[in-house]
């Protein structure tokens, strides 16, 4: 509970749960989907974001207040961090845990995203939970394993990128076990549970979207993100300009004014996606993969260069700067949280008084120092670093990079996408430091006279 309270400080400092423009969709859509599922009151439109996150938070806010969502997310983060610290430092877990949570809360984005009404924070919890279920299974009770599996399942269904990265992580965890030369039966036993969680998440999504839309899909009615990205990168636009003369595609109607920015393509007023009719939008979605595949065949080198450049830009952008106020947000609250408009307008966020630049710079240096600490620990603790710490650290660092690749390639580089996972780097650094201190303490307890003898000499 104390860990959760420490993590919630940005919301308390703000005077209101942190909001993002997408927050309104998650707060509104849950009710429509729940009425369709439980009351069979179907709707012509349910939204385009994760219905599982929307329905998951619905019992907590009930279109009245968003504070219970902050409590829920902070509790989940605190719980997963507790299990992580306890499995690595079982001798004095409480002191180590509170130290880790306090430092992460103060210097990284974990507290900001736990206080934000978005599913972003659940991604890193998915990756930590799956790693713990594989490498620390023996240190967890049955109830704890079930809780981690439930958090991971919800997190995977909460965002499309979480599903992609979780599936990739399962393969990576399997590869780590193979490198360790574990018996194949043990490899399958340990990773089978994580694969089952991902599979159940996929089945649940296909079942829900099949019920609502009468078609098998993992994403529902989503915009053509890849089309927007490949056109914004350039190669997709080049392909259309060269081939639209003999293509009967809806997107070709806009070939003369295609933007070089995927956000403009998707979200700007008068943009391709915002100005299409329902039938035209459906056609754009159907044209997405043919365009992507054709562009990759025509310009493979150029697209790879741009995708890798986007991934690098994403890896280096992880501030909390994009939590500024949005002018139209109070008007949207009339539907999502009708009784909270005045309280939001009194918050620091609505007045752009959150000092986001300062906290972003602080996190940047925290990450840089943490990378140095991890490198130094790898050298100084060489041969003495606990295997479990290595087993948890390597997948987490891999997920930080993989997250940058997936989000950078599929969308525009944005601080928010990497900030939701970058805090795992300081977490690893903190665990390295605490492990080193724990080893020194153990040596002193085992050989109490060593220091006194050295001093006298």
Contacts of 262 (CB under 8 A, 6+ apart): 225, 228, 229, 231, 232, 411, 412
Output the pTM of the full model: 0.92
The pLDDT of residue 223 is 86
The pLDDT of residue 457 is 46
Per-residue pLDDT of the chain (457 residues), as tens digits, is 999 999 999 999 999 999 998 999 999 999 999 999 999 998 888 888 889 999 999 999 999 999 999 999 999 999 999 999 999 988 888 999 999 999 999 999 999 999 999 999 999 999 999 999 999 999 999 999 999 999 999 999 999 999 999 999 999 999 999 999 999 999 999 999 999 999 999 999 999 999 998 888 877 778 898 999 999 999 999 999 999 989 989 999 988 888 888 888 988 888 889 888 888 888 999 999 999 999 999 999 999 999 999 999 999 999 998 888 888 888 888 888 988 989 999 999 999 999 999 999 999 999 999 999 999 998 887 778 888 999 999 999 999 999 999 999 888 889 999 999 999 999 999 999 998 888 777 777 666 655 444 444 4
Question: Under a CB-based contact definition with an 8 Å cutoff, are residues 149 and 197 in contact?
Answer: yes
Q: What CA dihedral angle connects 445, 448, 451 and 454, to 10 degrees? A: -140
β-sheet bridge partners, residue 18: 116
The pLDDT of residue 449 is 58
Give CA–CA dist 63/79, Å, rounded.
Answer: 26
Angle at 159 between CA 153 and CA 164, to 5 degrees: 80
Angle at 117 between CA 111 and CA 120, to 5 degrees: 65
**What is the widest separation between alpha-carbon atoms in the chain?**
89
Give CA–CA dist 77/62, Å, rounded.
Answer: 22
Question: Under a CB-based contact definition with an 8 Å cutoff, are residues 47 and 372 in contact?
Answer: no
Give CA–CA dist 204/56, Å, rounded.
Answer: 13
The pLDDT of residue 256 is 84
């Amino acid at each position: 509970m104390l860990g959760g309270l420490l993590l919630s400080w940005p919301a308390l400092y703000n005077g209101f749960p942190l909001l993002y423009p997408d927050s309104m969709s998650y707060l509104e859509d849950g009710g429509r989907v729940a009425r369709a599922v439980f009351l069979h009151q179907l709707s012509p439109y349910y939204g385009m974001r994760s219905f599982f996150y929307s329905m998951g938070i619905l019992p907590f806010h009930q279109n009245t207040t968003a504070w219970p969502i902050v409590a829920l997310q902070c509790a989940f983060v605190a719980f997963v961090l507790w299990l992580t610290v306890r499995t690595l430092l079982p001798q004095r877990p409480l002191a180590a845990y509170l130290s880790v949570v306090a430092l992460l809360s103060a210097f990284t984005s974990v507290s900001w995203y736990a206080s934000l009404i978005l599913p972003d924070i659940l991604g890193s919890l998915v990756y930590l939970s799956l790693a713990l279920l594989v490498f620390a299974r023996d240190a967890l009770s049955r109830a704890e394993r079930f809780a981690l599996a439930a958090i991971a399942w919800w997190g995977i269904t909460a965002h499309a990128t979480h599903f992609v990265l979780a599936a990739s992580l399962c393969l990576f965890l399997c590869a780590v076990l193979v490198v360790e030369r574990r018996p194949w039966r043990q490899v399958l036993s340990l990773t089978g549970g994580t694969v089952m969680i991902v599979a159940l998440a996929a089945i649940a999504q296909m079942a829900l979207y099949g019920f609502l839309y009468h078609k098998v899909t993992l994403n529902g009615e989503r915009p053509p993100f890849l089309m927007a990205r490949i056109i914004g990168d350039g190669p997709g636009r080049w392909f259309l300009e060269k081939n639209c003369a003999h293509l009967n595609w809806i997107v070709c109607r806009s070939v003369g004014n295609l933007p070089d920015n995927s956000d403009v393509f998707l979200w700007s007023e008068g943009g391709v996606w915002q100005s299409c009719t329902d039938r035209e939008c459906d056609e754009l979605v159907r044209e997405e993969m043919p365009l992507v595949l054709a562009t990759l065949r025509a310009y493979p080198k150029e697209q790879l260069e741009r995708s890798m450049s986007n991934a690098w830009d994403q890896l280096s952008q992880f501030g909390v700067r994009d939590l500024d106020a949005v002018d139209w947000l109070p008007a949207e609250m009339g539907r999502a949280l009708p009784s909270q408009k005045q309280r939001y307008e009194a918050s620091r966020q609505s007045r752009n008084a959150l000092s986001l630049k300062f906290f972003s710079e602080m996190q940047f240096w925290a990450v840089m120092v943490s990378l140095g600490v991890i490198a130094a620990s790898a050298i100084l603790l060489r041969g003495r670093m606990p295997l479990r710490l290595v087993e948890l650290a390597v997948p987490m660092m891999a997920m930080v990079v993989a997250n940058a690749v997936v989000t950078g390639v599929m969308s525009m580089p944005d601080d928010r996408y990497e900030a939701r996972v970058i805090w795992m780097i300081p977490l690893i650094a903190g665990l390295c430091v605490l492990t080193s201190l724990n080893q020194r303490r153990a040596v002193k307890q085992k050989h109490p006279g060593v220091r006194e003898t050295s001093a006298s000499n």
